[in-house]
Structure 1
Amino acid sequence: MALVFVAVRVLLGLFFMLTGVMKLTDRISADLYAQAKDEFVKFAAVFPLNDLGIKIEPMHYLIAVGWIELVGGLLLAIGPRILQEICNIILAIIMMGEIYSLLTMKEPLYLCTPAAVCLGLLLLLIYVWGRDSEKQKEE
């Protein structure tokens, strides 16, 4: 069973690395990069801190999320255990933010599916790591 969770962690890390790179450059797919730029203009408009007067530049937001996903995915896939856990939490927060943004923009629910699946897998990994650490403490 542990091998299944390792596979999930590595595949999820590779997925986040790919999505991070797609947000940082148009060399993989110009269409996906242009779509990401358009989405982050909308995401910046519904950014939770806008209510406090903190405005965020959409391109800075896109680049920040791209780098977080790229580095977080890399560390989730092949990093040391403590960094895997930290990146898992950070990536889960990013997915919660994406779901929040999509729901705030009143987008169809099916657009939340990729983020919800990723969030579910990240939360599953957090649960498994927590359960494993409790078992180690008992022994």
Structure 2
Amino acid sequence: MSSVALFVITLTIGIFFILIGQFKVTSKFFPDIHEDMRHEFGRINKVFPFYKITGWRPYAKNYRMTIGIIEIICGIILVVGPGRLKQLANSVLLMLMLGAVYTHYALHDKLDRMAPGIIFGLLLFTRLIICAQEKRSRNEQSTKFTNEEKDNQQEFTDEKKND
């Protein structure tokens, strides 16, 4: 059952981030949303998280494009990539969502502006938990199978000695 849940949540999140990243990168499909993203990143750039540490902040366009490209790449990896790479993409997207929540908090935005970052951050975290549980379950089954195999081999060896 967790495999189905993991598949569905991974596919949903991956497609979502491909779409959201595309809004940031190009105006080709949704020009109004792209224009809103351009305006939003003009605001977001003012509270760049690493500005206090580095004294540097990127141009709003470069910031928006970088975030959008990262979202698209990670979304594609979630949809079609292999297991370990999916975990890395999930972790990168989770960090982006934490950054988005921080940014909206720093801008004193209302909860409705923070909600997408919170919700998708929770979904990404949930995906990591489901994946970890599935991995642990596979390890337990593997260990159980190995122990049964050893018991069977021991029985076979004992029978041989008795013959």
Cα distance in 1 between the residues matched to 2:88 and 2:114: 23
Cα distance in 1 between the residues matched to 2:13 and 2:85: 15
Give yes or no for contact 2:6–2:131 (8 Å, CA) kept in 1.
no
**Which runs of 5 or more structure 2 residues have no equivalent in the other structure?**
144-163
Cα distance in 2 between the residues matched to 1:48 and 1:20: 20
**Which runs of 5 or more structure 1 residues have no equivalent in the other structure?**
none
Tell me the matched-pair count: 139
Give 4+ residue runs of structure 1 displaced > 4 Å after superposition: none
Task: Calculate percent identity across the aligned residue pairs.
Answer: 24
Per the alignment, residue 95 of structure 2 pairs with: 93
Cα distance in 2 between the residues matched to 1:80 and 1:86: 10
Q: Amino acid of the residue matched to residue 81 of structure 1?
A: G
Cα distance in 2 between the residues matched to 1:5 and 1:137: 17
Cα distance in 1 between the residues matched to 2:7 and 2:18: 16
- SS of match in other structure, 2:58: coil
Give yes or no for contact 2:101–2:114 (8 Å, CA) kept in 1.
yes
Two-structure CA RMSD over aligned residues (Å): 1.1
Per the alignment, residue 23 of structure 1 pairs with: 24
Per the alignment, residue 130 of structure 1 pairs with: 132
Give yes or no for contact 2:18–2:75 (8 Å, CA) kept in 1.
yes
TM-score (norm 1): 0.95
TM-score (norm 2): 0.81
Measure how far apart 1:134 and its partner are.
2.2
User: Structure 1 residue 81 and structure 2 residue 91: aligned?
Assistant: no
